[in-house]
Structure formats: structure tokens, C-alpha cells
A = this chain, B = another copy of it.
Amino acid sequence: MPAPQSPKQNRMLAALSLAGYTHLLPLLELVPMPAGYVIYELGLPIKYLYFPTTCIVTRLYETENGACTQIGIIGNEGLADISVLFGGERSRARVIVQSTGEAYRIKAGILKSEFEAGTELRHLLLRFAHALMIQTEQIAVSNRYHTVDQQLAYFLLMSLDRLSGNELHITHEQAGIMLGVRRESVTVAANKLHMAGAIHCRRGHIAIADRKQLEASAGENYKIVKEEYERLLETYLSSASRFGRSPEKQFKRFFQSIE
């Protein structure tokens, strides 16, 4: 495991080759990320992009009348927010810190240039973007077909996968905002999950009691996204070793035949 307070706590950064990492290192700055901090919002200028280490970041979509839905969650496997790199300056998504922690930030313009220039970083970022898209697609499906119970289970699992403990500091009200449902619906759903033995609730806290049970409650919903993220992390690892040896050469061979 990497030492505390190292950029390598972010798995994407850890996946970089030595050359790529040392190149990026002086451009990174450790910053605290308090819950509620707005990283990106329509109309606000974007100065920095963030590689989370111990915080988690949520992508929300707000409708005209103020209703929200979470459309993605980002932990130490990624970057907040990737959409800036795609050239579409405007997005209705609002990106905020969901859980207090730390991140390494980098000037948005610099990372954009790095994204343009270096194949290695770009590959990692695109691969991550793909996983994020699958997350959003899955949420779209979930919003149509799944019950609040299932969605709450999914949300808890996704969040806790990206945190060290097994307890989430969140009220039913806040969870309701994330899921785009009423606070009361969260309460009812949480009670169902509690009855099933999956979670344990305290005032302002939700903890996993039985992970297997919780995963069962979430259904295919979680399974698919989890698998995708496991594949993402595998890609990170293989990328690190591949690029570690001889950056560009190995990369070319990769396209000729899959090793």
C-alpha cells in the first residue's frame, strides 16, 4: 500500500509510469475536500481538476425546478470532473464533494494540455470516462425500473467501496437528495434494508451490517458497475507495468495483437 498523503493513493495516478508520474508530480497540490464543496457547476469557472484520494465526489444533475439526481460517483479511481477535458465547456451536471477527505488538484488548463499531449494519461482518463458512462447508463436504467430500496442499496455500496470504513456519514435527507427521492422514502427503504439485516442505522449514519445481503438487495444494478470498475482497476495495473518498461513501443504492439 502507498504511504499516507501520496498522490499514489489515487489509483489513476498510481497507474502512471515512473516518467509520467514524475512529470505530473510537481503540478499536483494536496487540498482538503470538505463535504458540500462545489467542484463544478454550470456558470462557475473551472480552475482546478481533482484526483480524489480519501474523499468521494458525486455528480448530480439538477432540473429547472431544483430536483436532483445523482448520475455518478467518483472516488480514488478517477478524476473530478472529466467532462472538462472533452471540450464541451458547459454541462448541467453539478459536481460536489459527498464525503469529506482529501484530493490532489491540478490546474484545469494544464491537465487538459497533458490530456492532449500524452498518450498514457489520456488512455487512463478515457478508460475511466468509459466506466463513468456505464455508471450513468446504469443509473438511467435504475431510475426507470428499480425500487428505492434497490437504489439505496446501490448508493450505499458505491459510496462505501470508495471509503475506508464501512459506515457512511449521511442523513436520510441527504441520501434522498442524492437519489432524487423524498426523505420519507429513504427512511422506509432503510428500514426494509435494516429488517433484511443488510444495514444498521444511527442518527446521521448508515453502516453495512451484512454486505452480501446488501448486494443482494441492490441486484444486478450494482454487480454490473462493480465488475466494470474492477476491470478498470485491472487496466490501471496492467497499464502501469506495460508503460513502466518501455512506454511507446509496448503501446504500439498492444494494437497489433492483444497480449
Distance (whole angstroms) from the CB of A103 to the closest CB of chain B = 22
Bound-state CA distance A129–B136 (Å) is 13
Of residues 128 through 187 on chain A, the ones whose CB sits less than 8 Å from some CB of chain B are 129-131, 133-134, 136-141, 143-145, 180
The residues of B that contact A86 with a CB separation of less than 8 Å are 126-127, 129-130, 133
Question: Are A136 and B140 neighbours in the complex by a CB distance under 8 Å?
Answer: yes
State whether the Cβ of A220 lies closer than 8 Å to any Cβ in chain B. Answer: yes
Interface segment, one of A50-58, A112-120, A191-199, A207-215: A112-120
Do A141 and B63 touch across chains, with their CB atoms under 8 A apart?
yes
- Whole-angstrom distance between the alpha carbons of A92 and B140 in the complex? 13
> Which residues of B have CB within 8 Å of A257?
117
Q: How many angstroms between the C-alpha atoms of A164 and B52 in the bound complex? A: 46
**From A250, which residue of chain B is reached at the shortest CB distance?**
B116
Interface centre among A88, A136, A143, A220 (most CB of B within 10 A): A88
What is the minimal beta-carbon distance from A255 to any residue of chain B, in angstroms?
6
Q: Are A137 and B134 neighbours in the complex by a CB distance under 8 Å? A: no
Instruction: Judge whether B258 and A63 touch: CB under 8 Å.
Output: no
**Interface: A40 (CB within 8 A):** no
User: Does any Cβ of B come within 8 Å of A205's Cβ?
Assistant: no
A229 to chain B, nearest CB (A): 11
Contact between B140 and A61, CB atoms less than 8 A apart: yes
- Closest B residue by C-beta to A116: B251
A137 touches B93 (CB 8 A): yes
Bound form: Cα–Cα A91–B232 in Å: 12
- Given A88-B134, A131-B88, A144 and B231 contact (CB-CB distance below 8 Å): no
A118 CB contact (under 8 Å) in B112, B134, B258: B258
The distance from the CB of A137 to the nearest CB of chain B, in whole angstroms, is 5
With a cutoff of 8 Å between Cβ atoms, the chain B residues found around residue A43 in the complex are none
A contact residues vs B (CB 8 Å cutoff): 23, 61, 63-64, 67, 69, 71, 83, 85-88, 90-93, 109, 112-114, 116-119, 123, 126-127, 129-131, 133-134, 136-141, 143-145, 180, 220, 224, 228, 231-232, 235, 251, 254-255, 257-258
18 additional contacts (CB under 8 A) given A69-B145, A87-B126:
A61-B141, A63-B145, A69-B140, A69-B144, A86-B130, A88-B228, A88-B231, A92-B138, A113-B251, A113-B255, A117-B251, A133-B136, A136-B137, A140-B140, A140-B143, A143-B143, A143-B144, A145-B180
Between-chain CB contacts (< 8 Å), 24 pairs:
A61-B140, A63-B145, A64-B220, A69-B144, A85-B126, A86-B129, A87-B127, A87-B235, A88-B231, A88-B232, A92-B224, A93-B137, A116-B119, A116-B254, A117-B251, A117-B254, A117-B257, A118-B258, A129-B129, A133-B133, A139-B140, A141-B143, A141-B180, A143-B143
